[in-house]
Amino acid sequence: MKLTQSLSRMQQTALKWRSEGIKIALVPTMGFLHEGHLSLMRHARRSVGRKGKVITSIYVNPTQFGPGEDYGRYPRDIRADKTRCREMGVDMLFLPDNASMYPSSSSGLPYSCFVKEKRLTSGMEGASRPTHFEGVTTVVAKLFLITQPHYSVFGAKDFQQARVIEKMTSDLNFPIQIIIAPTLREADGLAMSSRNKYLSKPERLQAPALWNAIQSARDSVKNANNGFIPVNQLRKKLIKQITQSADMEVDYIEFFDSETLVPVKKVSTTARMAVAARLGAVRLIDNASLDPASPY
């Protein structure tokens, strides 16, 4: 496995691979890698085959964190991350820093160019974290230009983010195929996340309440008259379920079309559910299709 912190070296290496007809797949991460991340690397390898190249980037991107969020304490373990990437057969580990990703100009002007998606970012995480997606789209666009991938893999756990990246890729004509891989879960249903490290033992026991609410929503829709339930009715039921089973403060529960992210008025198995809640100092998110047969 090769490793670089240099943007120019990474870009030159990727352009050389492309000139040789080698397929490239990128897995962008913020590190503190867990099995969910490793599954994305497996998808990346399948997309390019044995002769292709898999790049994993590790960069805790400051522009996607809002004021008072956990940028400074976001979990980091670069030594363990290097070991996991090597074991997964990653060809290049890219480790940029803030000074290279957001440099001032030669005249001293601060970095000032950002990418903004205006439609899919208006609700859910975009409403709760107003500056978040601008940071995400900007850093991913930069990573695409630096690593020159044919494919890039994102997890369905951050489903809105994945759809936003798909939209950006399409609208800005990046010649990249976006792959959305299924969410990996712990045995009790909790979606794997680097932030799960923050949970105390009592909180960890309560954390599956979000997945349990999704399961409950699936059951409710399955058993509903005519296959539909009014949104407000189901949302009220699930908020009560979550807050009675866990010491959580629900941020939002949304039901929406999986392709457009447009909210639905009546919930059926064709809809997707997303939920965010705070458990102590930890903010948890989860989502899934309300069709149990969906791959994600």
Does residue 149 sit in helix, strand or coil? coil
Model pTM score: 0.96
What pLDDT shows up at residue 295? 75
Ordered structural domains, the chain, with CATH: 2-181 (3.40.50.620), 194-289 (3.30.1300.10)
Q: What are phi and psi of 274, to 5 degrees?
A: -125, 145
Integer Cα distance of 126 and 167 in angstroms: 15
What pLDDT shows up at residue 159? 98
Integer Cα distance of 1 and 205 in angstroms: 38
34 is catalytic: no
Of 34, 37, 132, 150, which one is the catalytic site residue?
37
Q: What is the DSSP letter of 152?
A: E
* Torsion sign (Cα): 51, 176, 77, 158: negative
What pLDDT shows up at residue 51? 97
DSSP per-residue codes, 229-286: EEHHHHHHHHHHHHHHHSSEEEEEEEEEETTT-PBPSEE-TTEEEEEEEEETTEEEEE
Integer Cα distance of 223 and 95 in angstroms: 49
Q: What are phi and psi of 256, to 5 degrees?
A: -155, 165
Question: Exposed, middle or buried by CB within 10 Å (0-12, 13-18, 19+), for 70?
Answer: middle
Integer Cα distance of 284 and 194 in angstroms: 11
Q: What are phi and psi of 277, to 5 degrees?
A: -155, 155
How far is CA 140 from each of CA 21, 29, 50, 133, 238, rounded to the nearest angstrom? 23, 10, 25, 10, 34
Pick from 173, 165, 136: nearest CA to 30 = 136
CA torsion angle 16 57 187 74 (round to 10): 180
Residue 284: other Cβ atoms inside 10 A: 26
What pLDDT shows up at residue 294? 85
Give mean pLDDT in consecutive 10-residue pieces for the chain, a chain of 296 residues: 98 98 98 98 98 98 96 97 98 98 88 97 97 98 98 98 98 98 97 97 98 97 90 97 98 97 95 98 97 83
Amino acid in position 46: R
Does residue 44 sit in helix, strand or coil? helix
Cβ-Cβ contacts under 8 Å for 102 (sequence gap 6 or more): 62, 63, 111
Question: Exposed, middle or buried by CB within 10 Å (0-12, 13-18, 19+), for 69?
Answer: middle
